[in-house]
Amino acid sequence: MPELPEVETTRRGIEPHITGKRVRSVTVRQPQLRWLVPANLPELLAGKAVRAVDRRGKYLLLKFSSGTVLIHLGMSGSLRIVPVGTEPQLHDHVDFVFAGNILRYHDPRRFGSILWQSGEVLKHKLLANLGPEPLTEAFSGELLFKLSRKRSIPVKTFVMDSHMVVGVGNIYANEALFMAGIKPIRKAASLTRKQCEELVGRIKFVLARSIEQGGTTLKDFVGGDGKPGYFKQQLTVYGRGGEPCVTCHKPLKEIKLGQRATVYCTRCQS
């Protein structure tokens, strides 16, 4: 599943191509995504200019004067800018057509979504209860410490909860916890203030670095410009179960935690 860095990479990729431009038409070839694409979306957007391309968590927000299109990439979705006249391929489900280009939504598994919010977008039910953005000052070690008190769930599960903080997906949680020297199966409440500060710093670092490098190369992900990300080359634990730790060379342990692959070093993380 595309995680926050992949979504932010996509946002940055498409933003300069559509901001300020008017939608000429919207073509919906397959409305049945995770939820139905609104039937009146073409009428709502025709002739309207894109005011901004923002992001909240893993949702891309195409803002118009009359409302906002919310796009979630699901398990395998992607957005690309293609020239007008480019023939659609299999699984190219929705086109936002502009004067010189098309913003094309591609999704083989159809677990993504394209929705419309006419009012304040942050009040949409999918966004209203999300935690702070991880790369903002709102996400701090002090906040993590306060939220984690009396929480007996594993710290990895805790930081992946979008109600606590958005966008810390499985890959980046594994990496940040390794960098912070914290075992992912530890109870969240056992973290000290200092450890919370360290973990927040590492989460910010690994997410920012991944965004700079274009997201993580996964089978289904491509950026808005059609180029894959390159962060996978920098992974220290994720996907390396049984391989030697980059620090102490002891074989990394891999377990399932909340149905997610969790890899850590039993010597370097405590």
Which residue numbers are catalytic?
A: 2-3, 58, 260
Q: Is 109 annotated as a binding residue?
A: yes
Q: Is 91 annotated as a binding residue?
A: yes
Q: What burial letters (b/e) apply to 65-90, b meaning 16+ CB within 10 Å?
A: eebbbbbbbbebbbbbbbeeeeeeee
Q: Locate the DSSP E strands across the chain.
A: 25-28, 52-56, 59-64, 67-72, 78-83, 92-97, 101-106, 113-117, 253-257, 260-264
Length of the chain: 270
For 123, the token pair is 């009040």
What span, in angstroms and rounded, lies between the C-alpha atoms of 172 and 240? 14
For 100, the token pair is 């010189």
Q: Is 29 annotated as a binding residue?
A: no
β 59-64/67-72 pair status: antiparallel
Q: For 123, which DSSP code?
A: G
Helices 193-212 and 170-180 pack at an angle, to 10 degrees, of 130
Of residues 117, 232, 240, 253, the one with CA closest to residue 183: 253
Binding residues: 91, 109, 151
Binding residues for DNA: 91, 109, 151
